Amino acid sequence: MAKTVTLPNGTKLPALGLGTWHMGERGGGAEAAALRTGIELGLRVIDTAEMYADGGAEEVVADAMAGLRERVYLVSKVLPHNASHHGTIAACERSLKRLKTDRIDLYLLHWRGSVRLSESVEAFEQLKAAGKIVRWGVSNFDKDDMQELHRLANGKHCIANQVLYHAGSRGIEFDLLPYHQQHGLLTMAYCPLGQAALLSHPLLAKIASKHKAATSAVALAWLMTKQGVLPIPKSAQPDRVRDFVKALDFELDAEDIALIDKEFPPPRRKTPLDIV
């Protein structure tokens, strides 16, 4: 797989992962099979959270990873109301138990809450020192949040920010994405298919036909043209996961990108961070 992203420590990952939002609510076996298909096809990054189905999604991920843990770069998240020093450590322990693993590769604060950021950072650092997590990051942080985080002791140990990003929602390109790129932060793009809205878009369908690919692959390939961006689409269907993987196999040309920019113009001013 030629398309990769590089973490601050030099680790290279395929520039595509899989998400698990809404998994674990029903049909866990089929969902685990879809995730396992992705892992077997080389999609190393699997993203989940304690919030998803109250831990049910983490249990689905555990089933999908059975016997394949060393091939997975595992991401999970702590809820903001659990993000106190002791709460973060306890939440991580619960996630590790559900995930049936001894470590989480990247542990994120799901969004900002009332707990002081410094307290959450201290907990992340303690978990890292104990080997329970390898690295940590955040989610749904805008540029001012990232700047505040970076002013804290150990705040620059953050390696990633997971935010909503797709062709129809490009607000982060105004200042947040450039900030990530300037500081070498990984941008994890959730809802990269616009909650399926992009799958029926005629322009993307036309470009997909040109490349003999699925519309989803075009939407994902477009995100992969952005430095340091790793989209994490979700599907409980192995065939759709195979469509996703094809985004790693072709490049959009200048004409494709110009057409997408015309249809979905980049931002000209600061807008509030999109959150779903």
The pTM of the full predicted model, rounded to 2 decimals, is 0.97
| DSSP bridge partners of 104 | 133
Query: 159, 106 in Cβ contact below 8 A?
Result: yes
- List C-alpha distances in Å: 121 to 109, 153, 166, 204, 276: 9, 8, 29, 41, 24
Position 9 scores a pLDDT of 86
- 26 pLDDT band, cuts 50/70/90, is confident
pLDDT tens column, 87-126: 999 999 999 999 999 999 999 999 999 999 999 999 999 9
The pLDDT of residue 28 is above 90: no
- Write the pLDDT tens digit of every residue in 199-223: 999 999 999 999 999 999 999 999 9
Tell me the C-alpha distance between 187 and 218, whole Å. 19
Task: Name the active-site residue from 52, 73, 165, 179.
Answer: 52
Residues in the chain: 276
Residues 174-188 have a mean pLDDT of 98
Q: What average pLDDT does the structure give for the chain?
A: 96
- For 102, the 3-state DSSP assignment is coil
107 catalytic residue (yes or no): no
For the segment 66-74, the average pLDDT, to the nearest whole number, is 97
- CA distance linking residue 183 with residue 55, whole number of Å: 32
Residue (of 135, 186, 131, 183) closest to 163 by Cα position:
186
Average pLDDT for 77-92: 98
Which domains are delineated in the chain?
Answer: 4-263 (3.20.20.100)
State residue 76's pLDDT score: 99
* pLDDT greater than 50 at residue 1: no
**What percentage of the chain exceeds 90 in pLDDT?**
96
